[in-house]
Chains A and B, each alone.
Chain A
Amino acid sequence: MTGIITYGAYIPRYRIKLEEIARVWGDNAQDITGGLGVREKSLPDLDEDTATIAVEAARFALARREIDPSKIGAVYVGSESHPYAVKPTACTVGEAIGATPVMTAADYEFACKAGTAGIQACMGLVGAGMVPYGLAIGADVAQGAPSDALEYTAAAGGAAFLIGADDPIATIHRTVSFTTDTPDFWRREGQNYPRHGGRFTGDPGYFKHVQGAAKLMFEQTGKSPKDYDYAVFHQPNAKFPQRVAQMLGFTPEQIRPGLVVPTLGNTYSGASMVGLAATLDSAKPGDRVFVTSFGSGAGSDSFDIEVTDAIEAEWFRRSAAPTVRQLLANPIYVDYAVYARHKGKIVMQ
């Protein structure tokens, strides 16, 4: 059955504390961190972008398992911050992992769920027997305008999942999606930063779609939250996934391993995928994982995943790449001025 063959995540080392951003804009730091449940967020090095993050995540995935890269027949990179408007990040990734030239590739964009849309596309290609493996990546150097609410959480990072059918470390039993035309968050062509509907991104956006996809999955599988060991939700902040988990009937213990946003921030297309990677970092054979992403615009993808014995097989070297917790450890903290330089927020002559 189709599933996850291997996985990898990458997070740049740089961090800024939210209290430092609040200091610059005259906001109350305690209100901000308390309201969002986020203490700090990642940012890229001067020479890192979505393509470099995607490549590092993909290389970490391939470090864990011996795979002939020429058998990777599809590469999809989901992001809101592709380095080029026209020229695929996926081609750069394919070249950097040795998968070119016999492969299909494309960049996906669906706000924060473009990466999980890539997983679904790979599942289709693998399930149809068109490719042995497909690589789906969600990565972003997320954008948030100076002083906008998004600036407190927009972070950098990503995760890569190789989808295939031979001895997956986790079987994907089913995936369903729930999509509507909802303008809760958008970025027009040529604009540097996205705009959003403020608090309305929650109810008509996040909660409606995450619950829509989750309940659809429960209906189709006959399962309920108690049938799962872990759950991962899109995490634009810590409050939304905790609240939607409670609304659906999941416990705080079920979402704990995959809730990485408090010290990472919102990696947009990478967010739910990094959460899934963090959950797989400590998962055991037989664990059942429920995943629901969310992308503004708006839609959610749900996945019913079961970890297999292969995750502990001798040939799957989970320790050959860093865990998400290891990537989050030992950060380099910067002040707002250095952050602005790294994010290209200072206009140069």
Chain B
Amino acid sequence: MSVPRFWRKIPQRYNLEGTQCTSCNRTFYPPRSFCPDCRRAGETVPFRFQGKGEIVTFTVIRSASDAFAQQTPFVLAIIRLDEGPRVTGQVVLENVAEARIGMRVRPVFRRIGAEGESGVIYYGTKFVPDVPYPDT
């Protein structure tokens, strides 16, 4: 990934910033500047997703590209956010066998990758199971 390609999308990567149509309230992630339902009758404005949702489907990556090879095995999932859109994201689990369709997840801020030892570090959103913290 080029550095400009990363920083131009920082609001989307860090804070799941998408858009919402002020006419029909449909939400979009990644952001769209045009509502396909309302067309000219609609206007899209920035919308920040809370990031909670559930796993629609997932796969376990065991053989990854060089940039992600040190993280294998990891779970890559399609997550339906509570506000509507589906996003693709990594689900951080103690054991990849824990992944389940329908699992509730919440967003966390993690390191996504880096351009080698001297390049830029890419941060962004991953997901973890949305379970209560233990009582102490």
Contact = CB atoms under 8 A, between A and B. Distances in A.
Contacts of A332: 94
Given A83-B121, A84-B121, A95-B10, A47 B112 contact: yes
A304 interface: no
A96 B121 contact: no
Interface string A28-59: 00000000000000000111110110011001
A322 interface: yes
A344 to B, nearest CB: 10
A323 B133 CA distance: 9
Contacts of A83: 121
B136 A51 contact: no
A11 B126 CA distance: 17
A98 B46 CA distance: 13
A325 B14 contact: no
A85 to B, nearest CB: 10
A348 B70 contact: yes
Interface string A92-103: 100110100000
Contact of A52 (B15, B70, B71, B109): B109
B62 interface: no
Contacts of B71: 46-47
B108 interface: yes
Given A96-B15, A98-B15, A47 B133 contact: no
A51 B108 CA distance: 12
A96 B110 CA distance: 11
Interface string A312-337: 00000000001101111110100000
A56 B133 CA distance: 15
Contact of A59 (B11, B94, B109, B133): B109
Contact of A323 (B15, B110, B136): B136
A329 B15 contact: no
Contacts of A326: 133-136
Interface in B1-42: 10-11, 14-15
Contact of B136 (A48, A84, A325): A325
Interface in A44-82: 45-49, 51-52, 55-56, 59
A322 B133 contact: yes
B111 interface: yes
A95 B110 contact: no
Given A52-B123, A83-B121, A98-B15, A47 B134 contact: no
Contact of A55 (B11, B92, B109, B133): B109
Contacts of A322: 133
Contacts of A84: 121
A96 B109 contact: yes
B108 to A, nearest CB: 7
Contacts of B126: 47
B115 to A, nearest CB: 12
Nearest to B17: A98
A46 B71 CA distance: 7
Contacts of B136: 323, 325-326, 328-329
Given A46-B70, A330-B134, A95 B111 contact: no
A49 B133 contact: no
Contacts of A13: 94
Interface string A246-262: 00000000000000000
B109 A56 contact: yes
B67 to A, nearest CB: 12
A221 to B, nearest CB: 33
Nearest to B131: A330
A329 B134 contact: yes
Contacts of B11: 95
Given A92-B123, A326-B134, 17 more contacts: A45-B92, A47-B71, A47-B110, A47-B111, A48-B111, A49-B121, A51-B111, A52-B108, A52-B109, A84-B121, A95-B10, A96-B15, A323-B136, A326-B136, A329-B133, A329-B136, A332-B94
Interface of A: 13, 45-49, 51-52, 55-56, 59, 83-84, 92, 95-96, 98, 322-323, 325-330, 332, 348
26 contacts: A13-B94, A45-B92, A45-B110, A46-B71, A47-B71, A47-B92, A47-B110, A47-B111, A48-B111, A49-B111, A51-B111, A55-B109, A56-B108, A56-B109, A92-B123, A95-B10, A95-B15, A96-B109, A96-B123, A322-B133, A323-B136, A326-B134, A327-B133, A329-B133, A330-B133, A348-B70
